């Protein structure tokens, strides 16, 4: 299953598609940290065993689990039992596909193995039951019938015995599974359970979510009621349209940007109705001041979730003042004050940060799918996202989140465009282009919030009001079907337009395409060493080049030059005089960056194409 098609009404070739993300930068980042593979040796566990994956890390709790292939999150699920699930897919512990070549190779993928649990003092007559909830698909793609989710128990001989399995299917609510532990071979001092999914290893679309695992004695097949009331979703952003924006843009119109209320969802997993008291507070992390707080209550029927709201009203005079360019964080905390349940309390509190930084965004930072255009062969394809500014600002570049493609799209290039108007949108008769950056290449980075950063050659001053920023994929170039991250949890307008037949159309895809304009202070491109703000004027020709490059700069002294690839790796360096050439014939064809340092001052990086 490659993706789901949403066809345009005017063109059978120009269509919007969604596809698997095929990449998890949250795992990739964690995998790159020191000692990531060093799992702690935990003490043998005893009954009862409980895990609902409430937390803020991406790997399972090392006190309870031995491996780290699954992804702990709250974005890949739909209405979980409590906040946090373990997601099984076809991505390994580094967030990369297990198999980069074959999409017909179905094999074992992720696993989740418990630490040893001592059952030696128990016997079959103790009525030990293992229970959990599972959900296929979630917010990703559904697992195919050839896919499956399996559960194994470790026996006294050290082997793992399969005790349960289910084939892939489309989205369903979380379903509970009750498994009695009755065979004496499982009652030993190093019992373990292991979940495993089987998937087509080429794709990340075989999504399974597991939640609320319980293992205990003195249970029964009818012990399906959960004595718990818990938060099941993250609080909404404090902004009414953007998810993130610079603080100076917010303060230019706080009444217009601030949401009127904050919402969250509470699940009553008990069988009886409950009156639930909850509170909310918003704190400025910089000063420690509480900006607003409140309490309320809601009556929840048994086995039901309900969205709860709390007014978010901060007197404008109480909003803190910070210098321009400062990263500001407001922390939102929801917590349950009292319930009649006797369940765990770890899921009674949930925290979310509202970040004000140097970018505009509609997404929440996580991509569940990819978005791409299937282009008409002889026409280009364009994507443009609508943004607004409350006061003039300087656009420094774009941050883009790419969905990984197999094979890697190393020869695909695209252009970045910024417009003040789009033809046929909001009454404009023509496109009005403000700036463009050409011949840029997609890449996957663990940089600023997992986005790849493209810095403009020259900063672009934007007035207050509406502007559009996005990409162009050239026609007849093999650059179509470029995957961009899609946040499917975005609710409301995605502010996106696409053009494939010289006509801009509103996007029909639900979700936010993950492109972020970078505003304000200087930012360095991903893969490029940060250079001083003072730039040396210079140029390099020809471009594109085949065998030689000629340098021109204002100095009678030699300059140090450096040629790097798109990952920032230096491939060639040396010294050169103004008006002289260097030999680049040994470089393979592709995109490179060239820079010089002359008299101690760095020049602005130049992009070149090597033919």
Query: DSSP 3-state assignment of 61?
Result: coil
Q: Which residue has the higher pLDDT, 364 or 313?
A: 364
For the chain, domain boundaries: 22-224, 230-356, 369-519, 538-610
What's the pLDDT at 104? 54
Tokens of 318: 């109480």
CA distance readout (Å), 427 to 53, 59, 421:
49, 49, 9
> Over the stretch 378-396, which tens digit does the pLDDT of each residue have?
778 899 999 999 999 999 9
Q: What are phi and psi of 27, to 5 degrees?
A: -70, -40
571: β partners: none
Tokens of 43: 């003490």
* Closest to 185 (Cα-Cα) out of 116, 122, 127: 122
What's the pLDDT at 342? 61
Query: DSSP 3-state assignment of 88?
Result: strand
What's the pLDDT at 592? 82
* Cβ atoms 446, 348 nearer than 8 A: no
Tokens of 492: 């409301």
Q: Which residue has the higher pLDDT, 276 or 462?
A: 462
Residue with tokens 């020049």: 603
CATH code of the domain occupying 369-519: 2.60.120
* Cβ atoms 114, 61 nearer than 8 A: no
- Range in 162-166, 489-493, 527-531 with the lowest mean pLDDT: 527-531
Dihedral of CA atoms 502, 504, 509, 512 in degrees, nearest 10, equals: 120
Residue 554 and residue 598: Cα distance in Å, rounded?
9
Highest mean pLDDT among 235-249, 483-497, 552-566: 235-249
CA–CA–CA angle 555, 560, 562 (5° rounding): 130
Helix (H) or strand (E) run with residue 248 in it: helix 247-251
pTM, two decimal places: 0.76
Q: What are phi and psi of 274, to 5 degrees?
A: -140, 145
DSSP 462-504: E-SEEEEEEEEE-TTSS--S--EEEETT--S---EEEESSS-E
* Closest to 604 (Cα-Cα) out of 552, 534, 507: 534
Same-fold call for 22-224 versus 369-519: yes
What's the pLDDT at 13? 37
Residue 260 and residue 258: Cα distance in Å, rounded?
6
* Closest to 438 (Cα-Cα) out of 608, 611, 610, 563: 608
Reported confidence tier of residue 7, pLDDT bands at 50, 70, 90: very low
Residues contacting 177, CB < 8 A, separation 6+ = 131, 132, 133, 134, 151, 164
Note the Cα 498 to chain centre separation in Å: 22
Q: Is the pLDDT of residue 164 over 50?
A: yes
Residues contacting 481, CB < 8 A, separation 6+ = 17, 372, 373, 374, 375, 405
Query: DSSP 3-state assignment of 252?
Result: coil
Strand 4-7 with 304-311, pairing? unpaired
Residue with tokens 């774009």: 398
Q: What is the largest CA-CA distance in the chain?
A: 91
**Bond into 451 cis (ω within 30):** no
417: β partners: 436, 470
Question: What's the CATH superfamily of 230-356?
Answer: Immunoglobulins (2.60.40.10)
CATH code of the domain occupying 538-610: 2.60.40.10
Q: Is the pLDDT of residue 38 over 60?
A: no
Q: What are phi and psi of 162, to 5 degrees?
A: -75, 130
What's the pLDDT at 410? 53
* Cβ atoms 512, 493 nearer than 8 A: no
Helix (H) or strand (E) run with residue 513 in it: strand 512-513
* Cβ atoms 302, 260 nearer than 8 A: no
What's the pLDDT at 308? 84
592: β partners: 608
Average pLDDT over the chain, rounded to whole? 84
Q: Which residue has the higher pLDDT, 447 or 549?
A: 549
Dihedral of CA atoms 152, 157, 158, 159 in degrees, nearest 10, equals: -40
107: β partners: 199
- Range in 167-181, 230-244, 331-345, 537-551 with the lowest mean pLDDT: 331-345
What's the pLDDT at 72? 94
* Closest to 486 (Cα-Cα) out of 503, 498, 474: 498
DSSP 395-454: EEEEEEPBPP-SS--TT--EEEEEEEE-TTSTT-SS-EEEEEEEEE-----SSGGGPEEE
Reported confidence tier of residue 409, pLDDT bands at 50, 70, 90: low
C-alpha Rg value of the chain to the nearest Å: 27
Question: What's the CATH superfamily of 22-224?
Answer: Galactose-binding domain-like (2.60.120.260)
Residue 166 and residue 220: Cα distance in Å, rounded?
22
Q: Is the pLDDT of residue 282 over 60?
A: yes
Tokens of 191: 């019992």
What's the pLDDT at 603? 72
What's the pLDDT at 350? 85
Q: What are phi and psi of 550, to 5 degrees?
A: -110, 135
Query: DSSP 3-state assignment of 548?
Result: strand
What's the pLDDT at 105? 60
- Range in 113-122, 253-262, 418-427, 488-497 with the lowest mean pLDDT: 488-497
Q: Is the pLDDT of residue 28 over 70?
A: no
Dihedral of CA atoms 62, 64, 68, 69 in degrees, nearest 10, equals: -170
Strand 128-136 with 349-356, pairing? unpaired
What's the pLDDT at 596? 86
């Amino acid at each position: 299953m490659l993706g789901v098609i949403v066809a345009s009404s005017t063109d059978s070739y120009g269509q919007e598609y969604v596809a698997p993300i095929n990449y998890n930068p949250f795992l990739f980042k964690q995998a790159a940290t020191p000692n990531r593979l060093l799992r702690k040796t935990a003490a043998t566990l005893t009954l009862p065993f409980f895990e609902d994956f409430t937390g803020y890390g991406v790997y399972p709790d090392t006190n309870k689990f031995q491996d780290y292939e699954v992804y702990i999150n709250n974005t890949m699920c739909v209405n979980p039992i409590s906040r946090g699930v373990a997601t099984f897919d076809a991505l390994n512990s580094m967030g990369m596909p297990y198999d980069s070549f074959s999409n017909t190779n179905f094999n074992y993928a992720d696993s989740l193995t418990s630490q040893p649990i001592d059952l030696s003092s128990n016997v079959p007559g103790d009525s030990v039951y293992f229970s959990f909830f599972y959900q296929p698909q979630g917010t990703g793609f559904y697992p195919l019938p050839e896919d499956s989710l399996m559960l194994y128990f470790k026996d006294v001989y050290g082997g793992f015995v399969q005790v349960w399995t289910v084939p892939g299917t489309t989205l369903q609510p979380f379903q509970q599974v009750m498994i009695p532990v009755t065979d004496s071979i499982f009652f030993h001092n190093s019992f373990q359970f292991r979940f495993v999914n089987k998937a087509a290893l080429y794709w990340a679309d075989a999504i399974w979510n597991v939640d609320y695992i319980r293992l205990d004695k003195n249970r029964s097949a009818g012990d399906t009621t959960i004595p718990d009331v818990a938060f099941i979703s993250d609080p909404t952003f404090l902004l009414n349209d953007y998810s993130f924006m610079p603080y100076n843009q917010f303060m230019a119109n706080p009444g217009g940007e601030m949401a009127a209320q904050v919402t969250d969802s509470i699940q009553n997993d008990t069988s009886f109705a409950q009156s639930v008291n909850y509170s909310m507070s918003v704190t400025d992390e910089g000063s420690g001041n509480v900006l607003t707080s409140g309490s309320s209550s809601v009556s929840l029927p048994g086995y039901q979730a309900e969205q709860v709201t709390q007014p978010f009203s901060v007197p404008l005079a109480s909003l803190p003042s910070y210098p321009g360019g400062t990263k500001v964080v407001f922390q939102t905390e929801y917590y349950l004050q009292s319930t009649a349940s006797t369940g765990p309390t770890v899921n009674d509190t949930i925290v979310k940060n509202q970040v004000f930084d140097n970018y505009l965004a509609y997404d929440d930072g996580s991509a569940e799918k990819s978005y791409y255009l299937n282009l008409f062969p002889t026409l280009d394809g364009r994507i443009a996202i609508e943004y607004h500014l409350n006061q003039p600002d300087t656009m420094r570049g774009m941050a883009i989140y790419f969905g990984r493609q197999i094979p890697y799209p190393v020869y695909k290039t695209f252009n970045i465009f910024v417009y003040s108007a789009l033809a046929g949108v909001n009454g404009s008769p023509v496109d009005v282009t403000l700036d463009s950056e050409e011949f840029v290449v997609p890449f996957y980075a663990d940089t600023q919030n997992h986005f790849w950063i493209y810095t403009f050659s020259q900063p672009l001053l934007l007035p207050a009001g509406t502007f559009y920023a996005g990409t162009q994929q050239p026609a007849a170039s093999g650059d179509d079907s470029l995957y961009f991250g899609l946040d499917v949890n975005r609710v409301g307008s995605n502010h996106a337009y696409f053009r494939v037949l010289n006509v801009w159309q509103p996007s029909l895809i639900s979700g936010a395409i993950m492109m972020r304009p970078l505003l304000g202070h200087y930012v360095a491109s991903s893969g490029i060493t940060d250079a001083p703000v003072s730039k040396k004027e210079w140029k390099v020709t020809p471009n594109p080049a085949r065998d030689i490059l000629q340098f021109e700069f204002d100095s009678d002294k030699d300059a140090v030059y450096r040629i790097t690839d798109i990952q920032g790796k230096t491939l060639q360096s040396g010294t050169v005089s103004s008006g002289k050439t260097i030999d680049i014939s040994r470089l393979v064809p592709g995109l490179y960056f060239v820079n010089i340092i002359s008299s101690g001052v760095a020049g602005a990086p130049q992009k070149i194409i090597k033919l």
